[in-house]
Structure 1
């Protein structure tokens, strides 16, 4: 059985994934991370767990052969709960979720759980590893210091910069609940004083030809190009934007592959920019990034390849277990 950890509003990507597993006669279990709360009965010990979800479906960790941690959302709080108890409710259920996941670390995950957390939480580490593998990165500052940010702007940004939050700030690729990347120039630099309340990442604005969303699956690339050259982020811009298939240069593929291997990631949605200077700029990799628009509009078999990767690694894992048992 393959366990897929997602959320209750997930659709399309996850539906294609499950349909493909059905074709292969491989059982699966959907665990909605936001419903991992009082609605479910959960027992965890040092080696295993047992769970009954809100619909009555049961799963035991011994039956799980692989995991795809697609998305984790904030745990839903019951409406009837006294607000004085909300903090401890969230804290303890988050701890229960973390402990549940840790019992599965010995089996294949599409991305190893600890590796994914480490990379997803540290954009500066991403840039460091990308640069190590010969990818071009923008000059970057993560700060809450008005003076340092102003100096950075004048020294590196040629009159125009972008500021963005470090964390995940969007629920979907259509801009729902999306806080846009902010463009900073001389006219609004004076408002940077409020940065003390919310540190942000600052980079020079790159004049671009287009943006690239690259889905990497264990050495395989599915790349979409979107015709956005004037806006800082196509997801919140108004215009006639469309995806087209794109063939990455081999040296970029080689660098991205080396980067992903060092990050210990089998899957990631990578954002890059092709600058008007002809250079490719690496921006970030999101281990849980969206790719449904590429599957839908370009017919990329991404969901199927994710399933294939897990199936292959299940077989390898079981062969290794059998070999080790035979040696003993």
Structure 2
């Protein structure tokens, strides 16, 4: 039996196509989301004592687990906060504390899958971009010069050295939606005037040297195989800094791309060190032909790579899950 861990009511075309391929191949599968454990009223327990360590739920039937997510963090348990009457500071503290409790509880839920094939292991999905950059550097991959700082003076020196710099979140990209408004924190270029307007110290933030690119690369990794796409994002001012600033009226050209074997081997070592058997890897190919590692997203989207390059990744994921469900 295959178990698909997902966010409640996940709507994603590629995810749905994997499910279609599983059905086409007559695979047996079930779904699990955080809602089952936190919000739908079903009872469960994990009991531990000197003679017992077991769960009231039988997960032993699952031989293959596809982890796409578990909770929609911006909406889960929202009913708790609808009736809370306290200051914004206390609500923020309560949300943070509750998030920590959920994280620790999830660890014990996921521990039930330890004897199954996991794509990927949920314990390996927490993104730490700076640590991943350090590991990539140690494995011989090129990386952009990077800094985490709260110092205006250090940021000014970093800017003077590299001339052009960007900032991005250290963790995952964050989106806010409110009525008809949408705000997204992605990669942004920093102008010198913005630095001079900063206070002497500010919230610690992540900056990198802006790397001029020949092409942008997205490599989807699945069990030591790469499915790589080249994105000609530098030809459009709207997507030049970050191709995720999509231009729907004039989409970037996207074509299949073959990574050099040397780069593939280093990336394989990186994924092994991160205990990841799948993920979406972002790179840049610079005008001087260097392949520069940017980041890896363990549960990144793959549909636009699959469709643009005719890789049929959805079918390959389904067959990988089926292969291990035996």
| Shorter-chain TM-score range | 0.7 to 0.9
Gaps of 5+ in 1: 51-59, 316-328
What RMSD in Å do the two structures reach over aligned CA positions? 2.5
Q: 2:178 corresponds to which residue?
A: none
Gaps of 5+ in 2: 47-52, 86-90, 176-181
Deviations 1:49-88 (A, max 9, x none): 43xxxxxxxxx41222221111243152243752258646
Match of 2:169 among 161, 165, 169: 165
Match of 2:271 among 256, 260, 272: 260
Report SS of the residue matched to 1:234.
coil
Q: 2:288 corresponds to which residue?
A: 277
Q: How many residues align?
A: 297
Given the alignment of the two structures, is residue 130 of structure 1 paired with residue 106 of structure 2, yes or no? no
Instruction: For 1:96-107, list aligned pairs within 5 A.
Output: 96-107=105-116
Report SS of the residue matched to 1:47.
strand
On the 8 A contact 2:65/2:117 being kept in 1, the answer is yes
Q: Indicate how the Cα distance of structure 1 residues 250 and 148 shifts in structure 2: closer, same or farther if over 3 A, else same.
A: same
> How many angstroms apart in 2 are the aligned matches of 1:252 and 1:154?
31
Report SS of the residue matched to 1:264.
coil
Q: 2:50 corresponds to which residue?
A: none
Q: 2:33 corresponds to which residue?
A: 32
On the 8 A contact 1:49/1:61 being kept in 2, the answer is no
Q: 1:288 corresponds to which residue?
A: 299
On the 8 A contact 2:169/2:186 being kept in 1, the answer is no
Q: Indicate how the Cα distance of structure 1 residues 39 and 202 shifts in structure 2: closer, same or farther if over 3 A, else same.
A: same
Higher relative contact order (CA 8 A, sep 6+): 2
Q: 1:151 corresponds to which residue?
A: 157
Give the superposition deviation at 1:31: 2.1
Given the alignment of the two structures, is residue 217 of structure 1 paired with residue 222 of structure 2, yes or no? yes
Deviations 1:149-197 (A, max 9, x none): 2222223x1x2101111111256xxxx7532312113232213438723
Deviations 1:11-68 (A, max 9, x none): 2122111111112222112223366422241413142343xxxxxxxxx412222211
Q: Indicate how the Cα distance of structure 1 residues 154 and 42 shifts in structure 2: closer, same or farther if over 3 A, else same.
A: farther
TM-score of the superposed pair, with normalisation by structure 1: 0.81
Instruction: For 1:177-256, list aligned pairs within 5 A.
Output: 177-193=183-199, 196-197=202-203, 199-229=204-234, 230=237, 231-238=240-247, 239-256=250-267
After TM superposition, where is structure 1 displaced by more than 6 Å over at least 4 residues in a row? none
On the 8 A contact 1:36/1:97 being kept in 2, the answer is no
